[in-house]
Every structure is written in structure tokens, then in C-alpha cells.
């Protein structure tokens, strides 16, 4: 899809109601509700984070979405695909600034170049006790991505048609605690499996886009 067509249409989602849990549930791991219930008290003091779903034109003016593959580290999101973004800092005016700042730090897109179109439904992530606030943004020019080497393993440029293609929604088996594997819904994008919280947020963004494209 040509980026001009996309950008003219996507602004219409400003006026749409969010789908929230209705979208999240479609891409939710089967154990999530039980885990969230067990964490209900802890969730009241959850840390906060902002992430950015950033759409932009590539060199051929085709619409793409940027995701990142995180480095392998000792943590629950090690080597997983996610959005650019991160933890709220006291110096951030609000969580949108958090998302913009972290996007600039992780993939090199200047904060002042991003046009934030909509705030997406926040999502609680029990394993890390974070409440994540996603934003949908547009970048009008082809970015020169600069990877933050200490946190980002790879930058993934996802074609909009691949993201919207229902054939790229799959079921896959993932490991959990105690060496138990469970089947979860996921996106298959650019050779990577995207599941869990990122897939749930992508699910709502996809449902919103399908209302206007």
C-alpha cells in the first residue's frame, strides 16, 4: 500500500472507539487471564512504559511498520520481538514522550519527526509487572534507522500487507515456566514469531486499521 494512501486513511482512526480486550483476547496466551488475576494486587503498583507503533514509507513509498528484536539478556523479554519503547522516566512529561524518546534512542527516529495519531489501549504485562501504553505514529519520510546496539539485536521492517494478511496469524508452541510448552496465537512476520503482549497490541492496531483501510 502506497504511504500517501495509508496516511490519508489512517487519520480516520482518531475518531474510532478502541477495541481493547476484545482485540487483545484474540491474540492472548491461554494462561494470561489466570496470571493477571493472580497478579491483581501487584498490578496496582505496576511500573509504566510507553511504546510506539510507527508506520513510515520505505524507499519505494510502500507503507511499513518498524519492530525490534531485543538482545538476549537475563529478563522475561529476552530475544523477543517488540515495539520500540521503554520505561517511563521522571524527566518524561508523559508516557507519549516516553514512547517517542525511547523510539529515538532505540531506532534513531527523531522525536519531533513523529506525528502521533492515536493512543491505543494500555495493556498489563504480568511477567514483568508493567502497564504498557502504546501509541500509533506516522513518519512522513523514509527513516535512516540507527540501532541502539546494547539493547536492540535487529530492526525489523514489516510491510503493511504482511501485517494485515490473515495467513500470517498462526498458532505456535512456546516454552513457559517448569519446562511446559503451550500453544499460543502469534503473528509470523519477516521470519520471526511475535506473540504475547506485542501480538495483543498488534491485534488491536490491526483491527483499527481494518476499519479505515
**Range of the structural domain that residue 43 is part of:** 3-212
> Residue 56 in contact with residue 138, Cβ under 8 Å?
yes
> Which grid cell is 71?
538482545
Instruction: Enter the pTM of the model.
Output: 0.93
Q: Exposed, middle or buried by CB within 10 Å (0-12, 13-18, 19+), for 26?
A: middle
Q: What integer pLDDT is reported at residue 127 of this predicted model?
A: 80
> Residue 116 in contact with residue 13, Cβ under 8 Å?
no
The count of structural domains within the chain is 1
Q: What integer pLDDT is reported at residue 159 of this predicted model?
A: 98
Q: Give me the sign of the Cα torsion angle 148, 150, 151, 155.
A: positive
Residue whose C-alpha cell is 497478579: 39
C-alpha to C-alpha distance for 105 and 208, rounded to whole angstroms:
27
Q: What integer pLDDT is reported at residue 77 of this predicted model?
A: 47
Q: What integer pLDDT is reported at residue 67 of this predicted model?
A: 98
* Angle in degrees, CA 70, 198, 142, rounded to 5: 70
pLDDT (tens, 9 = 90+) of the chain, 213 residues, equals: 999 999 999 999 999 999 999 999 999 988 777 777 777 777 788 999 999 999 999 999 999 999 999 987 555 445 789 999 999 999 999 999 999 999 999 999 999 999 999 999 999 988 888 999 999 999 999 999 999 999 999 999 999 999 999 999 999 998 776 567 889 999 999 999 999 999 999 999 999 999 999
Domain harbouring 150, CATH code: 3.90.79.10
Amino acid at each position: 500500500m502506497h504511504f500517501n494512501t495509508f496516511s490519508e486513511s489512517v487519520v480516520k482512526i482518531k475518531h474510532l472507539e478502541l477495541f481493547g480486550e476484545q482485540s487483545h483476547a484474540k491474540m492472548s496466551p491461554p494462561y494470561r487471564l489466570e496470571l493477571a488475576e493472580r497478579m491483581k494486587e501487584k498490578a496496582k503498583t505496576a511500573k509504566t512504559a510507553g511504546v510506539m507503533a510507527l508506520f513510515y514509507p520505505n524507499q519505494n513509498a510502500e507503507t511499513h511498520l518498524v519492530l525490534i528484536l531485543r538482545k538476549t539478556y537475563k529478563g522475561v523479554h529476552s530475544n523477543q520481538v517488540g515495539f520500540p519503547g521503554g520505561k517511563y522516566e521522571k524527566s518524561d512529561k508523559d508516557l507519549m514522550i516516553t514512547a517517542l524518546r525511547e523510539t529515538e534512542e532505540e531506532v534513531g527516529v527523531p522525536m519531533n519527526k513523529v506525528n502521533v495519531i492515536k493512543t491505543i489501549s494500555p495493556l498489563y504485562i504480568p511477567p514483568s509487572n508493567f502497564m504498557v501504553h502504546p501509541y500509533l505514529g506516522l513518519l512522513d519520510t523514509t527513516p535512516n534507522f540507527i540501532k541502539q546496539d546494547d539493547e536492540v539485536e535487529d530492526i525489523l521492517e514489516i510491510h503493511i500487507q504482511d501485517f494485515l494478511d490473515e495467513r500470517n496469524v498462526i498458532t505456535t508452541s512456546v516454552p513457559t515456566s517448569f519446562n511446559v510448552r503451550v500453544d499460543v496465537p502469534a503473528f509470523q512476520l519477516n521470519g520471526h514469531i511475535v506473540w504475547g503482549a506485542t501480538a495483543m497490541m498488534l491485534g488491536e492496531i490491526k483491527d483499527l486499521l481494518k476499519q479505515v483501510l
